[in-house]
Structure formats: structure tokens, C-alpha cells
Structure 1
């Protein structure tokens, strides 16, 4: 029995197992890109530089609910969890059930929920988890290739799901989404992260605050 257990331990920590652990997320991401290229913006997950640049403006001390659209294999998800408060929650929404199963099995954190669903239902999803509005919503969904009407529906629901002063963070490979953000969000800033394959455009759109709404 001890010999069998020793062999299992060797196998679990052997070179093949280490390779699988290291490249498992990439392999999962690539398989899903091949199956659903229109729903995944790039064949390569985002770089760590893009992740840091996108998340840099966030006020983590006042973030109670963070929502992520299209988390994939968790390239943004894990850094978000390292920065969040211990009593905050991250809800990751994906229409791809394989990604949801992967993240649910791979991330063990009481603050994390992976949901199989559409970003167009974000208000219903956060309500199911006891919230009325989110502080931040992050999206890498490729708005330029979404089915007709889907992008507009997501944009409208996202604006309604954010608290006054909350922000919608979007990373894309074109400026297409900018014309969708501007009519809804009074403040939209953008930048370009060159250290990503391909270089990626970043947008931060902020909902009007309570005083502006009341005016």
C-alpha cells in the first residue's frame, strides 16, 4: 500500500503533471478559442502588464462587489482576488460552461462565484447573490463581434447595474466599443497597452455620481 501511495505521489509531482499544471489554463483557453472564436477576443490570454494597467485606477478599499464578464481561465480573476478586501465578492459571468467549470474547480476562495450566464442578465445575477449594484464591472468581451443587439443590451444593463460613481472597465482590440460607452457614461478615458499580444485598448467609463443624478 505504501508503495502504491508513493507511486501516486511521484506521478502527481512528476514532469508530466507539472507541465499540465503550468500549461493547463493556456490549453483550456486555446481549445475554447478554437470552438468559439467570435466570443473570445484573442487566441492569447492577456499579459500581466495589461492586467496591472487595467486594474490600476480601482479603489480597492471601497470595493464590495466586483463583476467580471468573460473571465476565461482567470487571467484577471486571480489578480483581482489578491487585491480585494476580505469581505468583498467577485462574480465572474461567462456564457461558456467549460470556463465556468474550470474556474469553479481551480479557484478556492469564499469571495469568488463563477456563474454560467449572460452579461445581459447582470442585474438579476448580482441580485441572486444579495447585491443591488456593483462597484466595478470588467469586460473583455469582443463587442465588435457580438450578435446584433447583444452588445447594446449588455451596455444598458451594465450601466444600470453600477452604483453611482461606479466604473465599467473594458479592454478591446479596437475602438468599436467607445461609441457604445459615450452615450451612457459621462466620463470615458482610454489608453493603449503596447505590452500585450496584440496591443490592447483600455477604456474606463464612469457612471454619473449621485449629485449629478439629482441635479
Structure 2
């Protein structure tokens, strides 16, 4: 590397940070969608009504560990942290390092843990942070477009990591994920939120 190239690095870094500040969370989210459309699955973050509806079945008094797959720019993270008990933890897992870096910079809550990794490895990630199980797991991953075998692997790992009585909260834009969920969760509550882009199908799979 030449001295000129080395000198340009801080300038480029500052320019990138400035662009991110100007774009805001929506810009970061759109950038993630463009780079990884199969993993992000939506162009804009979920609506406030979708967030409230998805989280409405959580017993926050009994939640010590909440896990989220595909947190994006933290659309659900902040509402979860607002409701989470003081001694609770929120672990978010995303394969996109840009999202993880953004969340690590912008969420300064000691209960928050951002992990760059695969949701299929949730059991190892949960254990690595001192927990035996999760109370609730949330996912907005587009199961219908994930690479072959990844969806079933995530579903199976999620069922194993949940405590009895815990739930897998899934929001999608089609009901196809419920067919896959049904292979692992006997009891699935169903919901729908029309005030979202696009309208959102919600499923709560309970571990008996």
C-alpha cells in the first residue's frame, strides 16, 4: 500500500460514515436489501403496528433471553429493549456484517448483543453467551427464498433452543413459512397485519 492510499483511507471512512448519517436507518436497510435481497426479503422496515402485533404474545416478565434473526437496522431491537426486563438479554444474529456493525454503533444498551453469524448456529451462540435456552425467538427471514436446507436447519435449531412454553415469532409476506413451521411446532397461532409494506403474515409457534 502506498502512502497516498493509506492517507485516503481515513477520508473514505469519514465519507462513508457521513453518507450513512444522511441516509439514516432506511438507507442502511435499503443498502442491505440491494446487497443481499435473498436474506433481507423486504425493501422497507416493518411498520410500528406490525412490531406491536408480533410482540403482543410475549410474557415480558418471564423473558430473560430474547433472540432475533435478521435484525436489519434494529426495527424490532429498540421496541424489544423497551419491554425487556432489566436483567434480560437481547441477542441478534445476522449474516450481513453491515447491519451488525451499524447496530453495534447505534445501540448502546448493555443488554444488547449483536452477532455476525447464521441463525442455524443459534444453539452455539446462545451457549457462548452463558444461556442454556431462549425464551422467545423472533424472525423476519424470508424462509421461502433461503438456500436449500437452510430453512429446515433454522427451524430445527430454533425448536431445540427454545424453553418449553417459549415461542418462535415469525413475520413473513406469505403464509408458506407456516407449512415448514408445522413440522416442528404443533401449536401455531396465526395473525395478519394489513398496515405494512407489504401486508404481513404473522405466526407464533409454541414449544410444548
Task: Please give the TM-score of this superposition, normalised by the length of structure 1.
Answer: 0.86
Partner of 1:35: 35
Q: 2:121, 2:21 → 1: CA distance?
A: 33
The structure whose Rg is larger is: 1
Stretches of structure 1 lacking an aligned partner (at least 5 in a row): 1-16, 209-215
Q: How does 1:60-209 map to 2 (within 5 A)?
A: 60-208=60-208
Distance 1:31 1:163, change over 3 A: same
Please give the secondary structure, in 2, of the residue aligned with 1:67: strand
Partner of 1:54: 54
CA RMSD of aligned residues (A): 1.6
Q: 2:117, 2:147 → 1: CA distance?
A: 16
Q: 1:171, 1:130 → 2: CA distance?
A: 28
How much does 1:20 deviate? 6.4
How much does 1:23 deviate? 4.3
| Deviation digits for residues 112-161 of structure 1 (CA, Å, limit 9, x no counterpart) | 00000000000000000000100000000000000000000000000000
Stretches of structure 2 lacking an aligned partner (at least 5 in a row): 1-16
Q: 1:139, 1:43 → 2: CA distance?
A: 16
Task: Please give the TM-score of this superposition, normalised by the length of structure 2.
Answer: 0.89
Q: Is the 8 A contact 2:20 2:28 kept in 1?
A: no
Partner of 1:7: none
Partner of 1:213: none
How much does 1:72 deviate? 0.2
How much does 1:175 deviate? 1.0
Q: 1:129, 1:35 → 2: CA distance?
A: 29
Partner of 1:12: none
How much does 1:21 deviate? 4.7
How much does 1:183 deviate? 1.9
Distance 1:49 1:23, change over 3 A: farther
Distance 1:22 1:64, change over 3 A: farther
For these two proteins, the number of residue pairs brought into alignment is: 192
Q: 1:165, 1:25 → 2: CA distance?
A: 34
Please give the secondary structure, in 2, of the residue aligned with 1:203: strand
